[in-house]
Amino acid sequence: MNRIKLYIVGPPKLGRKYEVDDGLGKGKGIYCLIAETGEELYNCYCSDIKFAKNDLLDSKPERKQNLRNRFGNYQVLYLGDDEMTFEELARLDLERFEKDGAN
């Protein structure tokens, strides 16, 4: 059975501390849960990547239920756990937006 992939994307790496904005940030900032289609589903401010999954989903049973209702089976990954890139998620979101509008 196919499961949709949902990616936890970290804050952009900006300034002197980081060199590349690739969505793989690990410190304080806004973390997003993004579907493999590029659609942002949820976001939260978090102090570190190790708390992001809990803050985005695990402590929010209503969100988990909404995702089950919408997608059925889903798999949560951190961006970088597989071949998906931030650039690809952004491209897919733009494609989705151009096709369907802001929904």
| Model confidence pLDDT, tens digit, residues 27-72 | 788 889 999 999 999 999 888 888 899 999 999 999 999 999 999 9
Q: Give me the chain's average pLDDT, please.
A: 83
Provide, rounded to the nearest whole percent, the portion of the chain with pLDDT above 70.
82
E strand residue ranges, the chain = 4-9, 29-35, 40-46, 74-78
Global confidence as pTM: 0.81
Are β-strands 74-78 and 4-9 bridged in parallel, bridged antiparallel, or unpaired?
parallel
Phi, psi for residue 18 in degrees, rounded to 5: -125, 155
In this structure, how many other beta carbons lie within 10 angstroms of the beta carbon of residue 40?
A: 12
Q: What is the pLDDT of residue 14?
A: 43
For residue 19, pLDDT beyond 90: no
